[in-house]
A and B are shown apart, each in its own frame.
Chain A
Amino acid sequence: MARKSGVVVGLVVAVCVAVVASLAYGAVSIPFGQVIDALTGASEVSESTSKIVLDLRLPRSCEAIVVGAALGVAGALLQGALNNPLASPDIVGVTGGAGFGAVLILILFPAQVALLPVGALFFGLLAAGLVFAVAWSGANRGSVSKLILAGIAIGAMFGAGTTAILTAYPDRVPSVLFFIAGSLTSDGWGDLKAVWPYFAIGFVLAIGLMRPLDRLSLGDEVAASLGTKPRLIRLIAGVAAALLAASAASLAGLLAFLGLVVPHFVRMAAGTSSHTYVVPVSALAGATLLLAGDTLARVVAAPIELPVGPFMVLIGVPMFLYLLRRAG
């Protein structure tokens, strides 16, 4: 119990520190007092400082928290629902679909770039829909292995489409590099406003799924004897994970690593696999990791911005490997 509480307290402290760092540091050096003044609306703050803090850093920090939490939760839901430690948003085709949607907009319809989040979200959900349609049809419908195989096939299909577009327009490839490598942007609140309902539905579904997933972890037969419908739970968990992962991809590009690693990190650190613990704490851990990675990506080579994906890996992997070694 103390170990679990310790992990929660540690993550709460870490996320607070990450939020402060994200607001305080950037390409432009702003004294922390002025950051506070800008946040509280003090009149003596310059227009540019106010703009940087309120319109760039604050929405970006919020995006990092929401996206990190969504990916952590999506990974926890899928790993629980499929009873597979390698499950991540990739597995339901979301990453491949969202990547295809983004590349389609950025390369073929650059004038419609404002539709990028919507395009990534649409194709992410479309890919997941196809995976579920295949997995829940024909013989052995709703089985874990069928869902995983369908996910791999549909993901490969969208991946091939992405590669085809990139190959056809090699001169335009730089436009999509940051999306593919994973990167938050400073586009203000607009993108978050466009996709927040999908996040909200995903998080609400995740909250409702925590206890059924615990029952599902006892095995399908035991879960059924306790009144849980395993296939239905699996489907709802898949839909929730798809909503969260597609929304996350629409804002921050392809960061599937986070969805894979964060739930394992939480389980190993706290020593429990209970979904009532792992799902919310994965949200906290995902938010912390992405926020810290994004701050590093913004300041390491400032004013040049780097993609967040590699930095997240840089922070997350050593901690993950340490815990993996300890867990034996």
Chain B
Amino acid sequence: MNSRMYPHAQAGTPNDRARRLTVLAFAIALVAILAIPFLTAEHADAASKKRIVALTAFSANTLANVGARPVAIGQMAIGNKGMSRRLRRVKQLPLSHPNGPNMEQIATIDPDVVLTAQAWRKGSKTMRDLAITVREMDAKTANQVPSRIRSIGRAYGNKRLTDKLVKKVKREIKYAKTRRPIKKRPTVLMVLGVGRTPYVFVSNSWGGSIVKAAGGRLLGGELRDSGGFVKVSDEYVIQKDPDVIIAVPHGNASDIPSISDHLKSNPAWSTTKAVKMGRVYVTLDDAFLQPNIDVGHSIKRVRTQFLKNW
């Protein structure tokens, strides 16, 4: 071929060569970028092919946000409140003590993995006998949330989405803790239930960890119990004299005023600063009872509504 006749057919001028190399590099980069999700999703795909049952709100919401869809989730006492929209159409399994889900239902669903919690541990053995992998991966405290999300996401979800979710949760926790510096650290008594034996959230409870993250000094913080709650003496409450009392009772929203009155009239608590200053709060929010991924919002809510240190 005569290069003079077809000047453009030549190897080209340095400018042309540079332009071609640029286009080639751009194309390679484009292909590489497009291929990354497929390459990295290999592990995630393998994981997402697993049939997973998430019995807890924490594990269910985590899976929903890291690109994995559980085949069934535990039926939450609070209904769909606080649950990811992606889980709306997922089959819900009623849970009851002490086994958790009905084992016949579990056997019918035939999952590869069940993400459960300590409360349902008695049923774990039966599930293992059914050749199901059973794991407890919920966060126990507010500080554990990012690491537990990462563990669940890496095992069963998409890595990129997992890292994104971890970053988001960390950012929200940091915002809730440091956006406005904590200047007041009131003593907080957080009680579960009502009746004559309210239980106190201790330091290793989920609700207790949120109060501590929000800057509260948890009354009973030196106590530990495997369940996270203990019945403490009213004498101890009087001695510690909490600034704030937060009650998380059972019941309906319409019960809150009467429950609040009942707590305030408790003769053992009537001399506490919390009652005298009118800082007895009643909340039905499940966010203080069980781990969830929007922990940053819970911390901020405790600071703004209860501790007043925002």
* Chain A residues at the B interface, C-beta cutoff of 8 Å: 26-28, 47-48, 51-52, 55-57, 106-107, 110-114, 116, 167, 169-179, 183, 185-188, 190, 298, 302-306
* Nearest CB on A from B269, distance (A): 10
Q: Give the number of A-B contacts (CB < 8 Å).
A: 121
A27 and B236 within 8 A (CB): yes
* B104 within 8 Å of A (CB atoms): no
* Nearest CB on B from A28, distance (A): 4
Residues of chain B lying within 8 A (CB to CB) of residue A171: 77, 250
* Chain B residues at the A interface, C-beta cutoff of 8 Å: 77, 95-97, 192-197, 199, 220, 223, 225, 229-236, 238-239, 241, 249-252, 254-255, 258-259, 262, 266-268, 271
B197 and A303 within 8 A (CB): no
With A and B bound together, what is the CA distance between A214 and B95 in angstroms? Answer: 55
Would you give 7 A-B contacts (Cβ < 8 Å), ordered by A? A26-B233, A56-B235, A57-B235, A111-B251, A111-B262, A114-B262, A178-B197
* Nearest CB on A from B201, distance (A): 12
B268 and A55 within 8 A (CB): yes
Q: Which 3 A-B pairs have the closest CB atoms?
A: A27-B233, A111-B255, A303-B236
A112 and B258 within 8 A (CB): yes
Residue of B nearest to A252 (CB): B196
A185 and B197 within 8 A (CB): yes
With A and B bound together, what is the CA distance between A303 and B252 in angstroms? Answer: 31
B233 and A298 within 8 A (CB): yes
- Given the interface pairs A113-B262, A304-B230, the reply to whether A52 lies near B193 with Cβ below 8 Å is no
A183 and B258 within 8 A (CB): no
A110 and B233 within 8 A (CB): no
Our pick among A114, A190, A305 for the contact of B233 (Cβ within 8 Å) is A305
* Nearest CB on A from B194, distance (A): 5
* Nearest CB on B from A310, distance (A): 14
With A and B bound together, what is the CA distance between A177 and B225 in angstroms? Answer: 16
Residues of chain A lying within 8 A (CB to CB) of residue B233: 26-28, 186, 298, 302-305
With A and B bound together, what is the CA distance between A188 and B196 in angstroms? Answer: 11
Residues of chain B lying within 8 A (CB to CB) of residue A174: 192-193, 199, 229
A52 and B235 within 8 A (CB): yes
B236 and A302 within 8 A (CB): yes
Residues of chain A lying within 8 A (CB to CB) of residue B258: 111-112
Residues of chain B lying within 8 A (CB to CB) of residue A169: 250
Residue of B nearest to A303 (CB): B236
A110 and B194 within 8 A (CB): yes
- Given the interface pairs A55-B268, A170-B97, A175-B195, the reply to whether A110 lies near B249 with Cβ below 8 Å is yes
Residues of chain A lying within 8 A (CB to CB) of residue B220: 303
B97 and A179 within 8 A (CB): no
Residues of chain A lying within 8 A (CB to CB) of residue B252: 111
* Nearest CB on A from B189, distance (A): 12
Residues of chain B lying within 8 A (CB to CB) of residue A303: 220, 223, 232-233, 235-236
Between A47, A51, A177, the greatest number of chain B beta carbons within 10 A of the residue's beta carbon is seen for A51
Residues of chain B lying within 8 A (CB to CB) of residue A47: 271
A27 and B196 within 8 A (CB): no
Residue of A nearest to B260 (CB): A111
Residue of A nearest to B249 (CB): A110
* Nearest CB on B from A302, distance (A): 6
Residue of A nearest to B271 (CB): A51
A28 and B235 within 8 A (CB): yes
- Given the interface pairs A48-B241, A48-B271, A171-B250, the reply to whether A106 lies near B234 with Cβ below 8 Å is no
Our pick among A56, A170, A179 for the contact of B196 (Cβ within 8 Å) is A179
